[in-house]
């Protein structure tokens, strides 16, 4: 574990931005997001969690799949420089790994590159993610529900803790290993530093609310399918997509053509299961025409369906949707209500 | 845009004309061989009341430098009140577009009757000159947005 | 690596209008590049995203069989933006396809057994692919029975082929229409009723059902009554799709993505998925 | 006040005057109320009424939410001034059956905009908040701040002349005297004074933040079309991506569709996760409509919306002479 003194942070960031496209938390409150930075002054180092997750860089809200002119088709997948993400919270680092399972890989056709998303892979495969331990989880955080924790080392290439005077960094993956090897002139963390990590960790964990067991919820969910409780929990939902667009693991998208027949581009842009037209077929038939069905789909997908395929929850407990929902439809409350529901098997 | 381009630039204007008055007025201007700038493309609609503000905004978005909407004079509407309803819509649309910073010259309204061939030519001339003065559209144009 | 979102260039080789209303047309597409043709390996039941640049993409089941070489066939109903535009295509025009996508009818499992195919309306496309495939490997399979229904005689697709199949002795084709019309010499009645009447044996047999949701809904109970086990009742689902490669999310039902885990499912599978039918 | 509200709702249930009451309950976060739906007298205890009750509940009577409301079901709904105006709009537009509705008015002194509070404390996390007459106190880890309520009131409340529902069946407490604000649109006037380029620049900056989540549309009581124009795809009016011209035209289109129908409740603005001053354009339209047609939406149950009516001899200065 190496130690980057805060007094050296500026130089560290400067050097980093020379070799990588460096992304870090920028901005306050509702405007906060991961954006490309050139120097340390641009970084918001005190932010609990950015409103927009790093997903917005790897799977941007809108991107051009290709441009066409006549029969000629041009596409660009590769970013110019590999990306380095500074200050990703453990929930977000985990969310990138979850997204990679869907976008970068294919459970159903693991060996066929035609089923991997080239744009995602071009960005994600070379990117280095530095997971920054969460010293002060927010009251909306619930990463402990789905197997996460503020100091989790489960995801990311590097792991760092911010102490009063320094950032202590250790590698988590081969990529991280290689990165650390390439650094020179930094001290190794002392015993005292390690003690302070333990102390910070303990304090951070004390901020979290008691966890609800997501695995129990997963087991319970199929029984709730016809439960009138879904009417109750979905009643106030207005079916906007604020929760999904702000979610670090929602990946649904639409593909659209823009321009004219002879010249234009094919783009993809986020879409959301909360919209009735998401599933509406050309015939007019809609398999999920009711708000209740759509809310149920979203909850089921996060807490059940994904688990059936990949063995873990698609919710990382970052709490963004809790904060952003215009009608305060709190996913934590929904989960608790579902668990308490007396649904017939 | 460079000076040179500016000189060659010809405004592209969409003229949305009601079938019963303004379109007939344009027709009269034509058969009477009244000269007016060739910058308009005509879209014939049954009534100025048919004009959805979306038509106007989409035209600007897709690259028209200006839009002229013309219908029957108040009281003359073939459908009795189409142009009165249109007038209320335009009364809101015009200041709204101006408010967001679309040049006031870009979207204009007029009443031209079937007998006013001369007036139609005047209206088109005025709109074309106005838009020439403000230059090519750059705001609200897809792919060209600028400050 | 080739970008999976970029369509394979194709040319429209032949267009056949299937019905007098001209809402159903069949398109034979040729590969522009020979290398693409060689790489394109598929089985009956799979689908493609057909792409018109500037207009968008739509998924269609492949109606040709891999045993018919050199072209791909699609039959397209004019319903929306993209299909409208496809109907404006002429022979020689360029289109793109992405595929083959999805899974296929379990033709390997069918080997040595009887196959019953029940279809309705223009959802007959991949069933044609299946039938042509089975006939091309005729010796590998037992009895082949097909029940195909349409609202009226005009709405059958592939009419010439139907004629030929009716004459064959190594398979049985039963056609049915909803209401009797003059000169009609085949069955009259809805597909479920005709299926019940014909009562194909479930002995050593598989059944493939494909058609409009309402037909499937009423045919499945009939088939279950005939004692076909759920694992041997095969159907193909339709959902709105975009990416076709299990990413974009809209065809998700339960833990399955219709575009990659399907579109072909057995009834046994569907029974484990809430609201699939 | 809250006690009176609960008593009243309890009474309505007991006297079988309602089957369902839509009101606000305590939310899961500080400074946050949440819409609740209660169907029995004892649940009336869950109701609250304070400056956090910012949602416009009228929205639950239309849209997809119609499924909540069964025919012949008697519905009680708790409304502020602006929510009440939405109900007037619904009555005018035949969206509700007035006789099936029990409108429960509450006097409103303005609701707070959480986003303004967060800006006030520079994005720190609020763990608890309490309200007094004209101040609020927010507390979090390592801070406690007092904020003047007028600094964090929703923009829509700042120049509000309609604190009480124009039409109601029951009123809790005393209707609040209107402040009779004369200059209702100072913000619009200030913006109008900027030059065209500055206005455009401001718009582009503001609307570039839009993520097209449609929260504004979906919380808007005046937006209840079964299929919104942005959702139509044949023809497709608006590109689906947050490209700036598509985004602007979506918002302008929506503004125009609610022109003369917008009650300026500010629900759109408070719902916006991207913090865009959405009400700015609505207020410009409302100002035009007030000046030209002397009309304000949602006040008179017998008056058609401004853009659904006309006078033969009205000012047409914007039409070429």
Using DSSP, state whether A257 is helix, strand or coil: strand
More confident residue, B109 or B1: B109
Domain count, chain C: 2
Indicate contact of D with A: 3+ CB pairs under 8 A. yes
Please state, in angstroms and as integers, the Cα–Cα distance from residue D311 to each residue in B82, C143, D289, D307, D314, following that order.
12, 78, 13, 11, 6
Contact A148, A90 (CB under 8 A): yes
Neighboring chains of B (3 or more beta-carbon pairs < 8 A): D
Task: Say what percent of chain C tops pLDDT 90.
Answer: 74
Confidence at residue C1, expressed as pLDDT on a 0 to 100 scale: 53
| Alpha carbon distance C60, C39 (integer Å) | 19
Contact A296, A234 (CB under 8 A): yes
Residues 6+ positions from D13 with CB-CB distance below 8 Å? D21, D40, D41, D44
Residue among D231, D232, D233, D237 with most chain C CBs within 10 A, to mutate: D233
Residue B143 pLDDT level (bands cut at 50, 70, 90): confident
Confidence at residue A344, expressed as pLDDT on a 0 to 100 scale: 56
Place of tokens 């924790």: A149
Kindly determine whether residue D125 and residue A326, on different chains, have CB atoms separated by under 8 Å: no
- Tens of pLDDT, residues A30-76: 789 999 999 999 999 888 999 999 999 999 999 999 999 988 888 88
> Which residues in C lie closer than 8 A to residue D234 (C-beta atoms)?
80-81, 84
Examine the pLDDT at D187 and tell me if it is beyond 80.
yes
DSSP 8-state secondary structure symbol assigned to residue C262: -
Examine the pLDDT at D250 and tell me if it is beyond 60.
yes
Residue among D123, D138, D219, D254 with most chain A CBs within 10 A, to mutate: D123
| Alpha carbon distance A294, C123 (integer Å) | 27
Residue at which a domain ends, from C66, C100, C134: C100
Task: Say what percent of chain D tops pLDDT 90.
Answer: 78
C165 and C199 share a domain? Answer: yes
Q: Is C14 inside a domain boundary? A: yes
**C248 CA: distance to closest CA in chain A (Å):** 5
Residue C37 pLDDT level (bands cut at 50, 70, 90): very high
As a whole number of Å, the CA-based R_g of chain B is 15
Contact B133, B108 (CB under 8 A): no
Interface contacts A/C by beta carbons within 8 Å: 123
Q: Between vectors from CA D312 to CA D306 and to CA D313, what angle results, nearest 5°?
A: 105
Mean per-residue pLDDT of chain D = 91
Residue among D231, D234, D236 with most chain C CBs within 10 A, to mutate: D234
Using DSSP, state whether C43 is helix, strand or coil: coil
Please state, in angstroms and as integers, the Cα–Cα distance from residue A32 to each residue in A47, A320, C185, D256, D287, following that order.
9, 12, 72, 31, 34
C59 and C178 share a domain? Answer: no
- Tens of pLDDT, residues A153-206: 999 999 999 999 999 999 999 999 999 999 888 889 899 998 999 999 999 999
- CB-nearest partner of B87 from D196, D202, D310: D310
Residue D66 pLDDT level (bands cut at 50, 70, 90): low
Phi-psi region of B44 (alpha: psi -120 to 50; beta: other; left: phi over 0): beta
Question: Looking at the DSSP assignment, which residues form a beta bridge with residue B42?
Answer: B15
Examine the pLDDT at C79 and tell me if it is beyond 90.
no
Kindly determine whether residue A256 and residue C56, on different chains, have CB atoms separated by under 8 Å: yes
**Taking the domains of chain D in order of start, what are their residue ranges?**
2-113+153-308, 114-152
What's the average model confidence in pLDDT over B50-55? Answer: 96
Q: In terms of Cα–Cα distance, which of B85, B84, B104 is closest to B94?
A: B104
Examine the pLDDT at D257 and tell me if it is beyond 70.
yes
**D262 CA: distance to closest CA in chain A (Å):** 18
Confidence at residue B3, expressed as pLDDT on a 0 to 100 scale: 46
Kindly determine whether residue D213 and residue A62, on different chains, have CB atoms separated by under 8 Å: no
Using DSSP, state whether A230 is helix, strand or coil: helix
Delineate the domains of chain B, giving CATH numbers in brackets: 12-134 (3.40.50.960)
Put simply, the chain A residues between 75 and 94 with a CB less than 8 A from any chain C CB are 75, 77
| Alpha carbon distance A87, A48 (integer Å) | 10
Q: Is C253 inside a domain boundary? A: no
Instruction: Identify the weakest region by mean pLDDT among A228-232, A317-321, C1-5, C148-152.
Output: C1-5
C144 CB-side CA count, 13 A = 25
Output the six-digit token pair for D89. 């709009």
Indicate contact of D with C: 3+ CB pairs under 8 A. yes
Kindly determine whether residue D236 and residue C80, on different chains, have CB atoms separated by under 8 Å: no
C90 and C112 share a domain? Answer: no
Q: Phi and psi for C238 in degrees, rounded to 5? A: -120, 135
> Which residues in B lie closer than 8 A to residue D293 (C-beta atoms)?
88
**C277 CA: distance to closest CA in chain A (Å):** 9
Interface contacts A/D by beta carbons within 8 Å: 123
Q: Is C255 inside a domain boundary? A: no
Please state, in angstroms and as integers, the Cα–Cα distance from residue A268 to each residue in C1, C95, D126, D207, D212, following that order.
20, 20, 37, 20, 14
> Which residues in D lie closer than 8 A to residue C80 (C-beta atoms)?
233-234
Q: Is C52 inside a domain boundary? A: yes
Q: Is C223 inside a domain boundary? A: yes
Contact D223, D258 (CB under 8 A): yes
Q: Is C273 inside a domain boundary? A: no
Mean per-residue pLDDT of chain A = 91
DSSP E strands in chain A: the ranges are: 2-5, 21-26, 33-36, 62-69, 72-74, 83-88, 128-132, 158-162, 166-171, 187-188, 253-259, 263-270
> Which residues in A lie closer than 8 A to residue D228 (C-beta atoms)?
none
Residue at which a domain ends, from C45, C68, C100: C100
Residue B1 pLDDT level (bands cut at 50, 70, 90): very low
- Tens of pLDDT, residues D7-20: 999 999 999 999 99
C134 in contact with A at a CB cutoff of 8 Å? no
Confidence at residue B5, expressed as pLDDT on a 0 to 100 scale: 56
Examine the pLDDT at B4 and tell me if it is beyond 80.
no
Residue among A76, A113, A277, A281 with most chain C CBs within 10 A, to mutate: A281
Kindly determine whether residue A261 and residue C54, on different chains, have CB atoms separated by under 8 Å: yes
Confidence at residue A86, expressed as pLDDT on a 0 to 100 scale: 95
C159 and C194 share a domain? Answer: yes
**D171 CA: distance to closest CA in chain B (Å):** 35
Kindly determine whether residue A252 and residue C79, on different chains, have CB atoms separated by under 8 Å: no
**C227 CA: distance to closest CA in chain A (Å):** 28
C15 in contact with A at a CB cutoff of 8 Å? no
Burial of C207 (0-12, 13-18, 19+ CB in 10 A): buried
- CB-nearest partner of A236 from D32, D34, D67: D34
| Alpha carbon distance D26, D31 (integer Å) | 9
Residue A29 pLDDT level (bands cut at 50, 70, 90): confident
> Which residues in C lie closer than 8 A to residue A102 (C-beta atoms)?
246-247
C115 and C210 share a domain? Answer: yes
Q: In terms of Cα–Cα distance, which of D248, D255, D230 is closest to D307?
A: D255
Q: Is C256 inside a domain boundary? A: no
C96 and C81 share a domain? Answer: yes
What's the average model confidence in pLDDT over A283-288? Answer: 83
Output the six-digit token pair for A202. 């303990």
User: By CA distance, what is D207's nearest residue in B?
Assistant: B100
**A109 CA: distance to closest CA in chain C (Å):** 8
Kindly determine whether residue D256 and residue B93, on different chains, have CB atoms separated by under 8 Å: yes
What's the average model confidence in pLDDT over C41-50? Answer: 95
Examine the pLDDT at C187 and tell me if it is beyond 60.
yes
Q: Is C70 inside a domain boundary? A: yes
Confidence at residue D300, expressed as pLDDT on a 0 to 100 scale: 93
Confidence at residue A285, expressed as pLDDT on a 0 to 100 scale: 82
For chain C, the residue count is: 277
C138 and C225 share a domain? Answer: yes
Q: Phi and psi for C192 in degrees, rounded to 5? A: -60, -40
> Which residues in D lie closer than 8 A to residue B110 (C-beta atoms)?
319-320
How many other CB atoms are there within 10 angstroms of residue B90's CB atom? 23
- CB-nearest partner of D312 from B84, B91, B98: B84
Write out the H or E segment, with its range, that includes residue C114: strand C114-120
Output the six-digit token pair for A223. 């029984």
DSSP 8-state secondary structure symbol assigned to residue A145: G
Residues 6+ positions from C172 with CB-CB distance below 8 Å? C143, C144, C145, C146
**Alpha helices (runs of H) in chain B, residue ranges in sequence order:** 3-8, 22-31, 53-61, 82-99, 117-134
Confidence at residue D1, expressed as pLDDT on a 0 to 100 scale: 85
Task: Say what percent of chain D tops pLDDT 70.
Answer: 97
Q: Which residues of B touch D (CB under 8 A)?
A: 53-54, 57-58, 61, 74-75, 81, 84-85, 87-103, 108-111, 123, 126, 139-142, 145, 147
What's the average model confidence in pLDDT over B56-72? Answer: 96
Residue at which a domain ends, from C55, C75, C100: C100
Residue D70 pLDDT level (bands cut at 50, 70, 90): low
Question: Looking at the DSSP assignment, which residues form a beta bridge with residue B44?
Answer: B17
C51 and C153 share a domain? Answer: no
C262 CB-side CA count, 13 A = 28
Kindly determine whether residue B93 and residue D281, on different chains, have CB atoms separated by under 8 Å: no
What's the average model confidence in pLDDT over C202-224? Answer: 90
Output the six-digit token pair for A279. 């599933």
C76 and C116 share a domain? Answer: no
Burial of D285 (0-12, 13-18, 19+ CB in 10 A): buried
What's the average model confidence in pLDDT over C223-238? Answer: 92
Residue D122 pLDDT level (bands cut at 50, 70, 90): confident
How many other CB atoms are there within 10 angstroms of residue A202's CB atom? 10
Here the CATH number for the domain that contains residue C62 is 2.40.30.10
Write out the H or E segment, with its range, that includes residue D83: helix D81-92
Q: In terms of Cα–Cα distance, which of D172, D174, D167, D163 is closest to D44?
A: D172
Examine the pLDDT at A3 and tell me if it is beyond 60.
yes
The residue segments making up the domain with residue C173 are 107-236
Residue D71 pLDDT level (bands cut at 50, 70, 90): low
C214 and C135 share a domain? Answer: yes
């Amino acid at each position: 574990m190496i130690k980057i003194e805060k007094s050296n942070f500026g130089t560290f960031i400067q050097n980093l931005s020379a070799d990588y496209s460096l992304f870090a938390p920028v901005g306050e409150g509702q405007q906060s997001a991961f954006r490309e930075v050139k120097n340390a002054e641009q970084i918001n180092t005190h932010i609990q969690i950015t409103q927009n997750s790093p997903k917005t860089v790897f799977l941007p809200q809108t991107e051009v799949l290709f441009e066409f002119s006549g029969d000629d088709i041009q596409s660009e997948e590769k970013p110019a420089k590999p990306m380095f993400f500074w200050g990703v919270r453990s929930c977000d680092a985990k969310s990138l790994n979850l997204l990679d399972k869907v976008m970068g890989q294919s459970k159903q056709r693991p060996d066929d590159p035609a089923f991997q998303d080239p744009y995602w892979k071009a960005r994600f495969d070379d990117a280095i993610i530095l997971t920054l331990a969460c010293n002060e989880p927010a009251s909306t955080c619930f990463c402990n529900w789905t197997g996460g924790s503020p100091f989790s080392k489960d995801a990311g290439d590097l792991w760092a803790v911010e102490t009063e005077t320094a950032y202590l960094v250790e590698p988590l993956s081969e990529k991280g290993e290689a990165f650390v090897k390439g650094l020179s002139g930094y001290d190794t963390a002392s015993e005292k530093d390690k003690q302070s990590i333990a102390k910070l960790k303990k304090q951070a964990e004390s901020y979290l609310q008691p966890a609800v067991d997501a695995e129990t919820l997963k087991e319970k969910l199929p029984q709730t399918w016809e439960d009138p409780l879904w009417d109750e929990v979905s009643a106030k939902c207005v079916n906007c997509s604020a929760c999904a667009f702000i979610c670090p693991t929602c990946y649904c998208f639409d593909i659209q053509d823009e321009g004219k027949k002879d010249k234009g581009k094919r783009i993809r842009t986020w879409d959301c299961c909360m919209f009735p037209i998401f599933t509406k077929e050309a015939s007019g038939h809609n398999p999920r025409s009711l708000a209740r069905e759509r809310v149920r789909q979203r909850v089921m997908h996060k807490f059940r369906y994904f688990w059936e395929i990949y063995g873990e929850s698609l919710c990382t407990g970052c709490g963004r949707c809790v904060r952003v929902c215009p009608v305060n439809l709190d996913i934590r409350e929904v989960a608790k209500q579902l668990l308490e529901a007396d649904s017939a098997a | 845009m460079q000076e040179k381009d500016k000189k060659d630039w010809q405004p592209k204007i969409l003229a949305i004309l009601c079938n019963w008055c303004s379109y007939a007025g344009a027709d009269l201007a034509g058969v009477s061989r009244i000269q007016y700038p060739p910058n308009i493309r005509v879209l014939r609609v049954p009534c100025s009341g048919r004009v959805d503000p979306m038509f106007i905004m989409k035209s600007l978005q897709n690259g028209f430098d200006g839009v002229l909407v013309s219908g029957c004079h108040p009281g003359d509407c073939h459908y009795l009140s189409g142009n009165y309803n249109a007038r209320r819509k335009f009364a809101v649309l015009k200041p709204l577009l101006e408010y967001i910073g679309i040049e006031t010259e870009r979207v204009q309204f007029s009443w031209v009757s079937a007998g006013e061939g001369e007036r139609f030519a005047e209206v088109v001339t005025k709109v074309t000159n106005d838009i020439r003065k403000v230059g090519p559209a750059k705001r609200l144009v897809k792919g060209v947005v600028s400050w | 690596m080739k970008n999976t979102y970029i369509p394979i260039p194709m040319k429209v080789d032949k267009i056949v209008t299937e019905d007098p209303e001209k809402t159903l047309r069949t398109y034979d597409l040729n590969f522009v590049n020979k290398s693409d043709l060689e790489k394109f390996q598929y089985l009956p039941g799979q689908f493609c995203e057909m792409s018109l640049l500037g207009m968008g993409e739509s998924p269609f089941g492949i109606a040709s069989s891999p045993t018919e070489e050199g072209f791909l066939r699609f039959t397209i109903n004019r319903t929306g933006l993209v299909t409208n535009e496809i109907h404006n295509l002429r022979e020689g025009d360029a289109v793109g396809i992405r595929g083959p996508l999805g899974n296929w009818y379990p033709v390997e499992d069918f080997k040595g057994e009887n196959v019953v195919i029940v279809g309705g309306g223009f959802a007959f496309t991949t069933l044609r692919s299946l039938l042509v495939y089975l006939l091309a490997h005729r010796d590998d399979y037992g009895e082949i029975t097909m029940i195909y229904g349409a609202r009226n005689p005009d709405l059958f697709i592939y009419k010439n082929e139907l004629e030929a199949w009716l004459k064959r002795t190594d398979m049985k084709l039963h056609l049915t229409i909803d209401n009797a019309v003059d000169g009609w010499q085949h069955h009259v009645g809805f597909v479920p009723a005709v299926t019940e009447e014909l009562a194909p044996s479930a002995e050593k047999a598989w059944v493939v059902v494909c058609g409009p949701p309402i037909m499937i809904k009423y045919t499945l109970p009939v088939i279950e009554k005939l004692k076909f086990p759920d694992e041997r009742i095969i159907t193909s689902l339709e959902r709105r799709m975009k990416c076709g490669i299990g990413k974009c999310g809209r065809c998700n039902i339960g833990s399955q993505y219709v575009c990659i885990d399907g579109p072909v499912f057995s009834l046994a599978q569907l029974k484990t998925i809430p609201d699939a039918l | 006040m809250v006690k009176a509200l609960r008593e009243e709702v309890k009474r309505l249930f007991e006297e079988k005057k309602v089957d369902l009451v839509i009101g606000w309950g305590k939310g899961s976060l500080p400074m946050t109320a949440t819409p609740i739906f209660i169907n029995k007298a004892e649940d009336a205890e869950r109701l609250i009424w304070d400056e956090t009750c910012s949602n416009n509940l009228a929205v639950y009577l239309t849209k997809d939410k119609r499924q909540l409301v069964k025919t012949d079901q008697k519905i009680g709904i708790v409304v502020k001034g602006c929510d009440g105006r939405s109900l007037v709009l619904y009555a005018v537009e035949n969206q509700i059956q007035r006789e099936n509705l029990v409108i429960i008015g509450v006097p409103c002194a303005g609701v707070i905009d959480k986003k303004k509070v967060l800006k006030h404390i520079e994005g720190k996390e609020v763990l608890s908040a309490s309200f007094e007459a004209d101040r609020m106190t927010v507390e979090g880890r390592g801070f406690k701040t007092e904020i003047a309520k007028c600094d964090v009131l929703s923009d829509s409340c700042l120049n509000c002349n309609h604190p009480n529902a124009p039409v109601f069946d029951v009123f809790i407490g005393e209707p609040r005297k209107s402040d009779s604000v004369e200059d209702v649109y100072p913000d619009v006037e200030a913006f109008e004074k900027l030059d065209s380029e500055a206005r455009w620049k401001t718009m582009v900056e503001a609307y570039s933040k839009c993520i097209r989540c449609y929260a504004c549309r979906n919380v808007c009581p005046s937006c209840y079309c079964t299929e919104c124009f942005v959702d139509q795809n044949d023809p497709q009016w608006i590109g689906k991506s947050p490209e700036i011209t598509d985004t602007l035209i979506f918002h302008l289109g929506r503004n125009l569709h609610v022109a003369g129908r917008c009650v300026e409740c500010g629900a759109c603005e408070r719902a916006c996760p991207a913090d865009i001053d959405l009400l700015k354009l609505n207020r410009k339209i409302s100002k035009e409509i007030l000046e030209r047609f002397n009309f304000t939406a949602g006040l008179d149950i017998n008056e058609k919306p401004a853009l659904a009516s006309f006078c033969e001899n009205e000012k047409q200065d914007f039409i070429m002479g």
